[in-house]
Chains A and B, each alone.
Chain A
């Protein structure tokens, strides 16, 4: 019912398109592929991707305001309406078998005539002393997950992106005080969110500052800045961008940039025939759910075109 109707999962079948990933990009790609009458399967480790951890989404056309989880529920309903199978699993290797690819996970293997890599990205780590030691003991990478632990407490967010601003606004609903600590002169959130941050009395921004250490006994107690000053906090939320999940692509020779993003053209094609990529894992300069969705849709169309051109029966 939820992940997959196992009766419809045919492991002997060669799927027209297997989409790797579980976020909006992957689902949009699969929805369009299904509408192009392709046999499509999604294999993802995390349904919803990073957007599911966003408190409020207010920039998706047609939806004035919803939560990240709410948006993904709508995606899931859409996916289910087309009977698109989704499996929680992770592809570890891909081999080229001539006319098709074989994708191996720990649990199963799948055959695909084409692949769309939409594996997104994961939170970047700071790499400072105390970060790993206090992971789960005051250091967090997900405000919506861990916010409830900090009611009436003092927290800081490290980072100055739009995501950092949104996390600050979310946390400010319940904590006593939120500090945004940013290494540059001014946070670079969308103007609409920046305004909300500046107007929120619980949020204070500390600019031109780097955190160099997270300190505590059993749990986080304070952070130390590069100017030698310290700030007492109960929680540290790290929001300094993300790293593309491109290992599987690199392993099969898909070209990536210096940032490890998969290099795609305007048709979402990679350097390998039959392998497409889209969303946060690819090298687009502006990464949003809506742009990932668009790239996913283009990837589906390109896969459809590819299957026609190479005369692979679909």
Chain B
């Protein structure tokens, strides 16, 4: 069975479980092929969601500037207050489907396993950005993506997660000298190479202040 079929079926089977409306923003750049590549995948999510997922395409450079979007295409999870929680500089396909759907469902308001501990510690956490550099063949990456996205949602954006496919954005990986994934960077300082668990990341967010 072709992988593309399996992955498309996975999106359809999971997105149909969405129960609340969600809106994601797709910021598009000048590269038509790249835009279309991500747009076509998001369309599968949208069409499988019983009209609960809406993808808002953004090509206004002023809005992009407001959110400091410099790499395209970018998928942003923006809450009702206009605050960005999660940014995907990666196509949510293959191994990245499940964590992406998980982020959508949690963003829609489904319960979040890490929420109570994040809330308990929110005062100790400074505004933070967690970048997770991934490749689509990395088996450990989806695990990290899943919990950092949940941290971002639980913190209402005080923690922001950025998921970066380094094959699509080699300039970002070169600027951080990345040659191994998953590669997790907190506030452009502390790095974790390889698998890291939610506890270690949260300890860094708390202890790093």
Contact = CB atoms under 8 A, between A and B. Distances in A.
B111 A88 contact: no
B91 interface: no
A142 B139 contact: yes
B40 interface: no
Contact of A149 (B113, B180, B202): B180
Interface residues of A, number: 45
A48 interface: yes
A106 B202 contact: yes
Interface string A225-238: 00000000001000
A3 B113 contact: yes
A82 interface: no
B14 A1 contact: yes
Interface string B87-106: 00000000100110110010
A52 B143 CA distance: 12
Given A6-B110, A68-B139, A88-B147, A145 B101 contact: no
A1 B142 contact: no
B113 A46 contact: no
A47 B181 contact: no
A147 B142 CA distance: 17
A73 interface: yes
Contacts of A188: none
Contacts of A147: 137
A2 B146 contact: yes
Contact of B95 (A69, A88, A136): A69
Interface string B160-202: 0000000100000000011111110000000101110111001
Nearest to B139: A52
A149 B146 contact: no
A147 B166 CA distance: 13
Nearest to A50: B139
B146 A144 contact: no
Contacts of A136: 178-180, 183, 191, 193-194
A68 B41 CA distance: 23
Leading 10 A-B pairs by shortest Cβ distance: A6-B111, A2-B102, A136-B193, A52-B139, A136-B180, A106-B199, A145-B138, A1-B105, A2-B98, A53-B139
Interface of B: 3, 6, 10, 14, 17-18, 95, 98-99, 101-102, 105, 110-114, 116-117, 135, 137-143, 146-147, 167, 177-183, 191, 193-195, 197-199, 202-203
5 contacts: A1-B17, A73-B10, A88-B147, A106-B202, A107-B199
